[in-house]
Amino acid sequence: MTEGTWLLGAAWAALAGAAGGSAIGVVAERWGTGARLFWGRSRCEECGVVLGIRDLVPVVSYLLLRGRCRRCRAPIPLRLWALELSGAALGVVLWSRWRWDGEYLAGAALLGVLLACAAVDLRRQVIPNGLVALGALVALAGAPWGPGLASAALGAGVGLGAMLAWHIAARGALGGGDIKLALVLGLALGFPGVLVALLLAVAGGAAIVGALWALGRVRRRALVPFGPFLVAGGIVAWLEGEAALAWYLGLWRA
């Protein structure tokens, strides 16, 4: 493959990923409001103006508008732009590994569901059962080409058991959606990949929340959604789980 062909494919993958991230942002904003999730024109939450095509170009529109509504100049939530960027980056990563084959499509579907879970949890503090069920189906469908059915079943049991134990020990500090999401990660990653994801989620969550608390951005007992940390840990474990596990085990051998 020539360099030009690779760059063209990567550009298309980034565009597809950014569009997917934009769609996920729309779903997260509309979830629980009574609005149609996949139909209907997008509007500014402040002034209600219908957004045109030039306002909805993934990644680019946010930059051209300088993060504000064209009409009322209200700030556009930064999380929407972050979802578009995340989708673009993950699209390129997937394409660079699997091009346009079945593994790319399965991976894109799984990552899309996981990002949707994280986005809705961050926005509404809930992980919908419908998204969890969809994620479980996608993970099961890809298990024969991923961790294998036996490893997926073991991973699901370990993920579910670990989160249930934490939920009981922490006296209900974790939500039911987090426990179900851990099961999905177990199906997708198998064992021991799910352990890598959980460790990364806990370590990342503790570091970020601790930093925000030190900066005075969150209160000590504030409720912080854990779903986004689970998803981030799951994505890293899925893409670089073997390397992360080897590094961690190497620390204990040193």
Spatial distance between the Cα atoms of 38 and 148, rounded to a whole number of angstroms: 33
Domain ranges, ordered by start, for the chain: 1-100, 129-254
Tens of pLDDT, residues 175-201? 889 999 999 999 999 998 999 999 999
Tens of pLDDT, residues 188-234? 999 989 999 999 999 998 888 888 877 777 676 667 889 999 999 99
Instruction: Provide the pLDDT confidence category of residue 17 given band limits of 50, 70 and 90.
Output: very high
Q: Please give the residue that has the higher pLDDT: either 212 or 19.
A: 19
> Does residue 66 carry a pLDDT above 60?
yes
Per-position b or e across 17-44, b if 16+ CB within 10 A of its CB: bbbbbbbbbbbbbbbeeeeeeeeeebeb
pTM (2 d.p.): 0.87
Spatial distance between the Cα atoms of 47 and 73, rounded to a whole number of angstroms: 9
Question: 56: buried, middle or exposed (CB in 10 Å: 19+, 13-18, 0-12)?
Answer: middle
